[in-house]
Amino acid sequence: MRSSQFAVRNSQLITAFHSDCGAALPIVIGQKLFSLIKTPKRKVCFQVLYHYPFVGDKLIIGKFCALAKGVKFIMNGANHKMSGFSTYPFDIFGNGWERVAPQPDELPFKGNTVIGNDVWIGYEAVIMPGVKIGDGAIVAAKSVVTKDVPPYSVVGGNPANVLRKRFSEETIELLLEISWWNWDIKKITKNLEKIVSADIEALKVCV
C-alpha cells in the first residue's frame, strides 16, 4: 500500500493511504484514507483483528475516511461456537481435542464489514463483525459499534446508538445522490470550499 506524509503543526504527521492496497489480505481501502502518527518512526494506525483468510470475510473501507488512533475492526474470525455448553476453543490445542473443531456453519458469520465514504471513526472505537457504516457517518470515541449505522448519522456509546442525524433527510438524500467522493481529484480540489461548507444548494451547482 502506498502512503504519503505531511506535517501538521510541526508536531504530528498525517499519513494518507492510497487505494492500491496490497492484495495479500482481504482488505479493500478507498482513496485518501488517513490516520495520525506521532513521530516519523512510529505509525499509529487502525487494527484489524481475527482476520483469517479461511473465514472468507472482507474489510471494505470507502474513500476519504478518517480513522483515529486505536480504532479496531473485529472480524468474523473472533467468533466462537455458542450453541454448546462451553465456548472454549479446545480444538486449537490439538492432542486429540481437534475432534471437536466446530464446522463452519456452527460459527456465527455476519458477512463483510463495510465502511462507507467520508466516514470519521473516533479514538479507540471498536467496529464489530459484519457492521455496515453509511456514508458521512461519525462514530464517537471509544464507541462499540454492533449494528449498522445510517448515512450521515452520529453514533456513540457501548453499544453505539444513533445520537443525531447530521443534516435533514432531504439534505442527506441529496448528498448521497451527489456523492462528491466519486469526483475526480481536480473537481474535488476546485470545489473544496463547497464540500466543507453546509450549503447544499452551492454543492448542487457543482454536479
pLDDT at 96 over 60: yes
Q: Determine which one of 12, 47, 52, 80 is catalytic.
A: 80
Percent of the chain with pLDDT over 90: 69
Higher pLDDT, 199 or 35: 199
- Domain count for the chain, please give it: 2
Greatest Cα pair distance in the chain: 68
48 and 68 inside one domain = yes
Using the 3D structure, point to which of 166, 181, 199 is the last residue of a domain.
166
Cis peptide before 129 (omega within 30 of 0): no
131 and 182 inside one domain = no
In this prediction the pTM is 0.83
**Distant-in-sequence, close-in-space partners of 58: CB < 8 Å, separation ≥ 6:** 26, 27, 28, 112, 113
Q: Which domain holds residue 173?
A: 167-207
How far is it, in rounded angstroms, from Cα 200 to Cα 159? Answer: 32
147 and 171 inside one domain = no
Q: Buried (b) or exposed (e) across 24-45, using 16+ Cβ within 10 A? A: eebbbbbbbbbbbbeeeeeeeb
Q: Is 51 a catalytic residue?
A: no
Show the beta-strand stretches assigned E in the chain.
Answer: 3-8, 12-17, 27-29, 33-37, 47-49, 59-61, 66-67, 72-74, 113-115, 120-121, 126-127, 132-133, 138-139, 144-145, 153-157, 160-165
42 and 133 inside one domain = yes
191 and 140 inside one domain = no
CATH of the domain at 56: 2.160.10.10
108 and 185 inside one domain = no
Q: Where are the alpha helices (DSSP H) in the chain?
A: 169-178, 185-190, 192-195, 200-205
Burial (CB < 10 A; 0-12, 13-18, 19+), residue 112, is: middle
Question: Which set of grid coordinates corresponds to residue 40?
Answer: 516519523
108 and 35 inside one domain = yes
Question: How confident is the model over 157-174, as pLDDT tens digits?
Answer: 999 999 999 999 999 999
How far is it, in rounded angstroms, from Cα 114 to Cα 137? Answer: 12
Question: How confident is the model over 19-76, as pLDDT tens digits?
Answer: 434 334 577 777 666 554 444 454 546 789 998 888 889 999 999 999 998 999 999 9
192 and 108 inside one domain = no
Strands 120-121 and 113-115: unpaired
120 and 172 inside one domain = no
Q: What values do phi and psi take at 134, rounded to 5?
A: -75, 165
